[in-house]
Amino acid sequence: MSMPELASAGESEVLDETGEAAASRKIEGRSPWRLAYERLRVDRAAKIALGTILVIVLLAILAPVFAKITGHGPNQQFIDTGSNAEGGPVPPSGTFWLGTDNNARDLFIRILYGARVSLLVGVLATLISTALGVVLGLAAGFIGGFVDTVIARLIDVMLSIPFLILAISIAYVSGPSVWLVIVIVGVLSFTYLARIVRGQVISIKGREFIEAARALGAGPWRIMFVDLLPNVLAQVIVYATLLIPLAIVAEATLSFLGVGVPPPTADWGSMISDASGWFQYGYWWFLLFPSMALLITTLAFNIFGDSVRDALDPRGAGIYV
């Protein structure tokens, strides 16, 4: 016989915590999430980016406060003080901190309110897109077969028709509005996460713990959401975070082209669009400040998203740029 006698195996009722068991007790419980958090904590770029995001959010929330302070609403026109002799915008001053736009409205206040729109669209559209993408990706990857084929072809079709054409056409048909933009951007970008989740699920679903779940009698939906989802969650978080700036840019682009948030709502894209007809006459602030706001926001989210990815997936398993 080849099994050695075990000194401590006298009673086997409640096994004593020898060697292996005691060793595991000394390891502090550090879940994968905890480890990721630790990495994120020491990442300076991440902290600056997150700080920037929080500032932007704060400013957006406090927009009405600033409106009160300056006494300028986002859609109020100040023809006398806010426009010059030719009817153009006035530069930054004590009254108008960042100047005015071509309709004599306070640029600074408009930028703050514009942040609301951008953040709202960015976050909500991302939520919709993530939810759709995860569910479809899970179903396609795990159930496979016909469901997978249908979903995969659906994704192909969505990707073959240019986003802008589709978005603009829909907006034309139903009339542009904030909610339409959110839905359009959210729904049309589900492909982003669906593919990633599907890929992950396919590589995981053959593993034994999935078999074990089936052996226990778990149904497919339970397996997808209780067993598979935690394993793809890390990737989902990474790409959802990176999706936010894409959604913000998409919204800004749509507004720039005139089919996003309708006027007179303050929106960075439409502000830039308005400015594009004026900056050649020297009204630089009109173009610069909304552009900077947009750029800084997108940059902050991208940097933070990159850091999240590094934290959750340090070995860089996917080359999804």
Partner 1 sequence: MTSAAKSDSNPVPTAAEADGDDVLLRVENLVKYFPIKGTGLFREKEFVHAVDGVSLTIPRGQTFGIVGETGCGKSTLARCVARLYDVTSGRIVFDGRDITKVSQRSMRPLRREIQMIFQDPIGSLNPRRRVGSIIGDPFAIHGLASGAERKRRVQELMERVGLNPEHYNRFPAEFSGGQRQRIGVARALAFQPKLIICDEPVSALDVSIQAQVINLLADLQAEFGLTYIFIAHDLSVVRHVSKSIAVMYLGKVTEIAPAEDLFTVPRHPYTGALLSAVPVPNPDESDQRKQIILVGDVPSPIAPPSGCRFHPRCPKAAPVCVTDDPPLEPRLGDGPEHPAACHLPMAAGENLADFHPEISKEERVVEVEGSLLPDDAQPADIADALPVRQEGGKP
Partner 2 sequence: MIRFLVRRIGQSILVLVASSLVVFGLYFVGPGPNQVARTFAGRLATAARIAQIKHELHLDQPLYVQYGHWAWGLLQGNFGYDYYKQQPVGSVIAAAAPATISLVLGAAVIWIVYGVFTGVISAVRSRSLMDRSFTASALFFYSMPTFVLGLSLIWIFAYKLSPVTTFFPFHGYVSFTSNPAQWFQHLILPWLTLALVTAATYTRLTRASMLEVLGEDYIRTARSKGMKENRVITRHALRAALTPVVTLAGLDIGTALGGVIVVETLFGVTGLGWTVIQAINQQDRPVILGITILAATFVVVANLIVDILYAVLDPRVRLY
Contacts to partner 2 by CB under 8 A:
153, 156-157, 159-166, 168-170, 172-173, 245, 249, 252-253, 256-257, 272, 275-276, 279-280, 284, 287, 291, 294-295, 298-299, 302-303, 306, 316, 319, 321
Distance CA 21, CA 15 (A): 9
Distance CA 189, CA 155 (A): 10
Nearer to partner 1, 153 or 207 (CB): 207
Q: Is the peptide bond prior to 264 cis by the omega test (within 30 degrees of 0)? A: yes
> Which of 79, 173, 215, 319 is in the footprint of partner 1 by CB under 8 A?
215
Strand partners of residue 89:
83
Q: How far is the CB of 56 from partner 2 (least distance, A)?
A: 14
Q: How far is the CB of 193 from partner 1 (least distance, A)?
A: 18
Nearer to partner 2, 108 or 285 (CB): 285
Which of the listed partners (partner 1, partner 2, none) does 173 bind, with a CB threshold of 5 to 8 Å by partner kind? Answer: partner 2
Whether the CB-CB separation of 235 and 196 falls below 8 Å is answered with: yes
Torsional sign, CA 289, 55, 297, 57: negative
Residue type at position 237:
I
Site for partner 1 in 24-83 (CB under 8 A): 24-25, 27, 29-32
Contacting range for partner 1; rule: CB under 8 A; set: 7-15, 64-72, 94-102, 280-288: 7-15
Q: How far is the CB of 220 from partner 1 (least distance, A)?
A: 9
> Which of 59, 202, 233, 257 is in the footprint of partner 1 by CB under 8 A?
233
Site for partner 1 contains 145 (CB under 8 A): no
Nearer to partner 2, 66 or 256 (CB): 256
Nearer to partner 1, 14 or 85 (CB): 14
First to last CA, the chain: 57
Q: How far is the CB of 41 from partner 1 (least distance, A)?
A: 20
Distance CA 129, CA 147 (A): 19
Q: How far is the CB of 142 from partner 1 (least distance, A)?
A: 14
Nearer to partner 1, 162 or 206 (CB): 206
Site for partner 1 contains 208 (CB under 8 A): yes
Residue type at position 293:
A
Q: Secondary structure of 44-83 in the HEC alphabet? A: HHHHHHHHHHHHHHHHHHCHHHHHHHHCCCCCCCCHHHHE
Residue type at position 126:
T
Residue type at position 4:
P
- Supply φ then ψ for residue 89, to 5 degrees: -70, 155
SS3 177: coil
Nearer to partner 1, 21 or 161 (CB): 21
Site for partner 1 contains 211 (CB under 8 A): yes
Residue type at position 144:
G
Distance CA 49, CA 45 (A): 6
Site for partner 1 contains 85 (CB under 8 A): no
Site for partner 1 contains 3 (CB under 8 A): yes
Please enumerate in sequence order all residues whose Cβ is within 8 A of that of 171, keeping only pairs 6 or more positions apart, or say none. 180, 181, 184, 254, 259, 260
Length of the chain equals 321
Site for partner 1 contains 6 (CB under 8 A): yes
Site for partner 1 contains 217 (CB under 8 A): yes
Which of the listed partners (partner 1, partner 2, none) does 25 bind, with a CB threshold of 5 to 8 Å by partner kind? Answer: partner 1
Residues that bind partner 1 (CB under 8 A): 1-6, 9, 12-15, 17, 20-21, 23-25, 27, 29-32, 207-209, 211-219, 222, 226-227, 230-231, 233
